[in-house]
Structure 1
Amino acid sequence: MPTALISHPVSVLHEISPDHPECPQRIDVISDQLKKQDVYDYLIHFDAPKASSEQLLLAHGEAYVDHIHDSAPSSGTVELDGDTAMNAHTLDASLRGAGSGVVAVDKVMSGAVNNAFCLIRPPGHHAERNRAMGFCLFGNIAIAARHAIREYGLERVAIVDFDVHHGNGTEDIVDGDPNILFCSSFQHPFYPGGFRDNVSNQRVNTPLLAGCNSADFRGAISNSWLPALEAFKPDMLFISAGFDAHLEDPMANVCLLDPDYVWITQKLMDVADRHCNGRIVSMLEGGYSLPALSRCATAHIRGLAGL
């Protein structure tokens, strides 16, 4: 079955500030690389809808959702914190970022596609239940996972996050949820700071030292994530796909290479094939070296599509 690519034009209209690393060009370079490698037309394309308030409440408190709506400017920029701001298009882009995961779940669960990649921004894995931070407003991946549980009765879903920054927002939202296993690898010590202790069938945090190379990363994932996923036997797999652990990325100090993203994609697909009929929803998180981002995100999508 095919792979879905879910996006929306408003994703490139959101901008925090000129020359900010979380820039609109991040979407463009991935789209361009997909076309260059003749992958784009092979995918099944869907526009991301806006998430409903009910869907946002799967991950966030009502007062927080109201605060984000009320903060949205009609012009200019409003800062939510030192790293996170809204322009006139940010609310629309954020709602569609959250909605992309919802429609991805629906398409995968209906059998229309085998898996899906959400090419959206702003990212989501730093947004906590009641706090915007780290360029993120809504917990896109957590909303998608909770939607799968609520709408399709799934009992076990896994969220894996290979962004170089800890997925603190996802962790905050899903903490204590017996239906969700959360696995996150990240440089530590580094932004956003601390992380919670590991809990069987609940949480696998895998800190990586600055300078970590391919062998270190693959060993850490093989020794922590993969056994936990095998034991959990998820009904569906969600991926927070950040590409900022790459050697070329200016935002961190982990030294992964292009083949590492091929490797992790294949390992996760193997888990999905064994336990959940290949059902995967992957969503773009970080990645700030535009050349490395374009190559590695395309390699990830090629892997999902079996190309």
Structure 2
Amino acid sequence: MHTAFITHAACNEHDAGPWHPEAPGRLAAIQDHLIATGLDPLLRHFEAPEVTREQLLRVHDADYLDALDARSPEHGLIHVDPDTAMNPYTLAAARRAAGAAVQATDLVLAGTVQNAFCCVRPPGHHAERRRAMGFCFYNNVAVGVAHALASGRVQRVAIVDFDVHHGNGTEEIFHHHAGVLLCSSFQHPFYPYTDMNFRAPNVIHAPIAAGLGSEAFRAAIEDEWLPALERFAPQMIFISAGFDGHRDDELAQLCLTEDDYAWVTRVVHELAARHAHGRIVSVLEGGYDLPALARSVRAHLDVLLT
């Protein structure tokens, strides 16, 4: 079986300004590294379609979508919050990013590929049902999960999110959803300053203090995620694949390496083999040091290809 690699040139056209860390060069760094290291020919390449409004409406409110469309600038930049800006091409990129998650879901459920990686931007896991924030406009993983559930092919879907920032948007969309288990690890306290007193039966938090690295990360996954995932026995797994916890990434203060990302991918891969017929959809989230991001994605894909 194969691993799909899904992207689109439109994802490079979203540009939030010259000093913004979520920059077009992120995708080029990944793709150039995969070519240079010989991994690229092993992947099955697909061009992401545009997401449909119907698919977005499964996780976002209509008035929110309309408001985003209305605010899209004809030229220049507009900010929807201090960190999150739109240029004239942002929503076209976001539609391809969310469309990639839908296409990946269809390919994996059909058995065309074993798993898929969506190399897309803007990222998605901070986007709430009615709110853009944290560089995110549409919640790509949430769109994919909702599409999987709507297919009727699966009834239990797990989301694992190892981005250094808590995926507040995904949690806001799916908390208390009996068909979804959300497991997230993240630096705490840190943006978006999630309330650790919040509780939902389908949400597993694994907060990690600044300055910690492999030992704390792996213990959090083994102690917090794995028991819940084994009990839930997901029929499909989505990964919010953020690589900004890498020790070289200056936007955060965790000390992970590409070996840690390979390890957590292997844990998820083995879990998917036990419960989900190997079905995994991974979607790029954060990661802003370009060499570290490229190496980490390569390590992630090495495992998905096994």
Residue 80 of structure 1: aligned partner:
80
Q: Does 1:264 align with 2:264?
A: yes
Deviates more, 1:75-84 or 1:25-34: 75-84
Q: State how far apart, in whole Å, the 1-side matches of 2:147 and 2:258 are.
A: 32
Residue identity matched to 2:143 = I
Map 1:121-160 → 2, pairs under 5 A: 121-160=121-160
How big is each residue's C-alpha offset from its partner over 1:137-165, in whole Å with a ceiling of 9 and x where there is no partner? 00100110010000134110000100000
Name stretches of at least 5 consecutive residues in structure 2 with no aligned partner. none
Bigger mean CA deviation after superposition, 6-15 or 148-157: 148-157
Tell me the distance in 2 between the aligned counterparts of 1:20 and 1:107: 33
Checking the alignment, whether the CA contact within 8 Å between 2:176 and 2:200 is kept in structure 1 is no
Per-residue deviation, residues 179-200 of structure 1 (Å, max 9, x unmatched):
1000110011100012453444
Runs of 4+ deviating beyond 2 Å: 195-200
Aligned length: 305
What SS is found at the alignment partner of 1:224? helix
Distance, in Å, in 2 between the alignment partners of 1:66 and 1:155 is: 30
Q: Is the 8 A contact 1:195 1:205 kept in 2?
A: no
Q: Which amino acid aligns with 1:147?
A: H
> 1:90 is matched with which residue?
90
- The answer for the alignment partner of 1:29 in structure 2 is 29
What do the CA deviations read for 1:84-131 (whole angstroms, capped 9, x no partner)?
111111010001111100000000011100000000000000001100
1:46 matches 2:46: yes
TM-score normalised by structure 1 residue count: 0.98
Residue 226 in structure 1 maps to residue 226 in structure 2: yes
Gaps of 5+ in 1: none
The whole-number CA distance in structure 2 between the counterparts of 1:40 and 1:69 is 35
TM-score normalised over the length of structure 2: 0.98
Cα distance, 1:235 vs structure 2 = 0.5
| C-alpha distance in structure 2 between counterparts of 1:146 and 1:173, whole Å | 10
Tell me the equivalent position of 1:19: 19
Alpha-carbon distance in structure 2 between the residues aligned to 1:216 and 1:63? 41
Aligned-residue identity in percent: 50
User: How far off is 1:232 after superposition?
Assistant: 0.3
SS of 2:237's equivalent in the other structure is strand
Residue aligned with 2:98, SS: helix
What pairs with 1:1-307 in structure 2 (closer than 5 Å)? Answer: 1-195=1-195, 197-200=198-201, 202-306=202-306
Cα separation, partners in 2 of 1:195 and 1:272, compared to 1, 3 Å: farther
Could you say what secondary structure the match of 1:80 adopts? strand
- Residue pair 1:168, 1:195 contacting (<8 A) in 2 also: no
Instruction: State the secondary structure of the residue aligned to 1:300.
Output: helix
